[in-house]
Homo-oligomer: A and B are copies of this chain.
Amino acid sequence: MPGELALIARIRAAAAGRHRHLRLGICDDCAILAPPPGHELLVTTDFSLEGHHFRRNWHPARSVGHRALTRGLSDIASMGGTPLAAFLSLALPRSVNPIWINDFLDGLLTLASASKTPLAGGDTSESPSDNILADIVLLGSAPAGKALRRSTARSGDRLYVTGSLGGAATELAALARSPRRYRNANPTDDHPHLYPQPRLAVGQTLLRRRLATACIDLSDGLSTDLAHLCTESNVAADVQAAALPLHPLTDSLSAEQALHNALHGGEDYELLFTARPGTRIPRSIAGVPITPIGVLRNARKSAPQVTLVKASGDRTPLAPQGWQHLL
């Protein structure tokens, strides 16, 4: 594997920094963490597999690293948690270009640094195929008993979403058409597919100020993730189509396609949360716009779980059509 020693050196160096809750990084059989007293631990793991979650001929390596970490950070954000540490398992084919590895780590470590998440360990291996395989583990913490969940929404709660929707799917379609245009995309520009921003500060504020009754991140698409929230909370939902905050990238699409991307596109990594009707929800939290998009109702076997309400008042059942994951 080319660049193997450089890879270890970089990961070790990245993991060697001092971090408040990290007692021991990469140099032993396990990393040792000391979670803050009175807090519970949040744990999430997410694959990023070439050919399934990304393509080397579409995605810049920097974006692959950024997105791999985003998947985990967004799960921590949706629980209102604070990241404690990340662990990277990375299997590389012999043929991989050392520059690719370097850029991948750059993308991952830049976001890790921005989100104060030490890379505390992991595993490396030769890939048994031509595919690059990554698995990211994120550990976070939240005050005991206070983590935001999917299962605690109630009928009557209002439904809110952070940021805007449909941008990731729209950019992905453009990327598939002309990958070259995105080869040097600037990570600090707004690239909703290549460089999504996990909403950690929003989640933490929702938890600290007790604003939300439930929360989930939009990784699989609004239609799928809202269905998860409804199932776990045993409620139904009405979503106002006209209220959905569409990402500016969708302006170039037909109204129908823009709505489709916002509802089913997935990977926007925004937060979907619920609040009691009386709760005053700010228009923006930590600089991120917050938009009311609907309301929860009692679940009924005879009625659809999620209903899309058009501006005309027309009601249509909204089936989950986003990405289907198993867990």
Contact = CB atoms under 8 A, between A and B. Distances in A.
B128 A52 contact: yes
A133 interface: yes
Interface in A1-50: 4, 7-8, 11, 23-24, 26-35, 37, 40-47, 49-50
Contact of A30 (B26, B37, B147): B147
28 contacts: A8-B326, A27-B232, A28-B79, A29-B75, A29-B76, A30-B43, A30-B75, A30-B78, A30-B140, A30-B147, A31-B42, A32-B42, A32-B79, A32-B142, A35-B41, A43-B85, A43-B121, A43-B137, A45-B89, A46-B89, A47-B125, A49-B91, A49-B125, A51-B128, A52-B125, A52-B127, A89-B135, A129-B130
Q: How large is the interface on A (under 10, 10 to 19, 20 to 34, 35 or more residues)?
A: 35 or more
A139 B325 contact: no
Contacts of A128: 49-52, 129, 131
A304 interface: no
Interface of A: 4, 7-8, 11, 23-24, 26-35, 37, 40-47, 49-53, 74-76, 78-79, 81, 85, 87, 89, 91, 120-131, 133, 135, 137-140, 142, 144, 147, 149-151, 216-217, 232, 325-327
Please give the count of copies of this chain that the complex contains.
2
A47 B90 CA distance: 9
